[in-house]
Amino acid sequence: MKILRHHIYILSLLSFFISSCTAPMDIRTDNAGPVLCIYGMVSSNSEYQTVTLSSSAPYFDTLPNLRVSGASVKISDDRGDIWYMEEKKDEPGIYSTYLPIKGKPDRTYYLEVRCDFDEDGIEETYTAESYMYKSIPIDSMRMVPMSFFNKKYYNALVYVFEPPGRNYYFYRFYVNGFMMADKISEYLITSDEMFDGQYISDISFYNFPNISDYDKYDEDVAKDALFLTPGDYVEIEMSEITKEYFEFISQCQQEFNGENPIFGGPASNIRTNIKGGAVGFFGTFNGSRASAIVPID
């Protein structure tokens, strides 16, 4: 479900710099042959950890998502743990751990994919690695009613101490236990440039429209908006991520939404940490959560 982007206050996305430890990936596929795309994340939640294999670019809602079957996929860490993945029978191209597993902080995770993508009879090997940071505890969260342009919203405010040093964050929202904005084009990410080493108090992470104003929106906007109802249970999950993962998400979103035409067209290259000739990203996140009930007006 897409989240309404009109009249939403979020932290400014930091202008980013290309890192030398990742390689550029060309996502323009008009005149290019198919490319193996690998996307996977290891989280600290107890869940089925998954890796998705596709042909061409799987990042944007408007592009076809051709899944790749028959690969061997495993994830290991620097402590010797190994997770062998199996392809889901009802979802080809999605490889999952056999049981729900938790990633652990302060570990480096390694991805290995073996696949005969070019169908020449020889398996190619693709690898990536990502470090999982420790979580940053959120002290609390509250939902505050507000009005803007004759529409009512619920302002999600959080309270947290942000540690010194340049850090990058990835956020997920849950409403009544269901995760919202689960596509890369909808992810909320920030850097700490504006609040490095400070206690963050009453900072607005998102404004959600009130369901009572549903009829005030155009049909196309309303169907993609995330409306809240008094009494809803809202959680925010905050995770520190690597700079490379932050840059990858940023560039995917710029490509999906288009850059400012004053400064040029959409980006032609997106960074990847996948080695071996594939594109995509393998990342980790270790989230801390806070929750609040939407107040009854």
Q: What is the pLDDT of residue 258?
A: 53
The confidence score (pLDDT) of residue 5 equals: 34
CA–CA dist 127, 108 (Å, integer) = 13
All structural domains of the chain, each given as residue ranges with its CATH number in brackets, are 23-133+267-284 (2.60.40.3780)
Over range 229-252, report the average pLDDT: 92
Q: How far apart are CA 235 and CA 172, in angstroms?
A: 8
Q: Which ranges of the chain would DSSP assign to H, the alpha helix? A: 219-224, 243-257
Q: In the predicted model, is pLDDT for residue 209 greater than 80?
A: yes
Helix or strand or coil: residue 86? strand
How confident is the model over 199-205, as a mean pLDDT? 82
What tens digit of pLDDT does each residue of 21-47 get? Answer: 344 444 443 445 688 999 999 999 999
What is the spatial distance between Cα 57 and Cα 54, in angstroms, rounded to a whole number? Answer: 7
Which pLDDT belongs to residue 32? Answer: 56
Q: Which of 18-27, 82-91, 203-212, 216-225 has the lowest mean pLDDT?
A: 18-27
At residue 18, does pLDDT exceed 50? no
pLDDT at 8 over 50: no
Q: Average model confidence (pLDDT) for the chain? A: 82
Distance of alpha carbon 286 from the chain centroid: 12
What span, in angstroms and rounded, lies between the C-alpha atoms of 69 and 53? 8
Q: pLDDT grade, residue 282 (50/70/90)?
A: very high
Given a contact cutoff of 8 angstroms between Cβ atoms, the answer to whether 206 and 5 are in contact is no
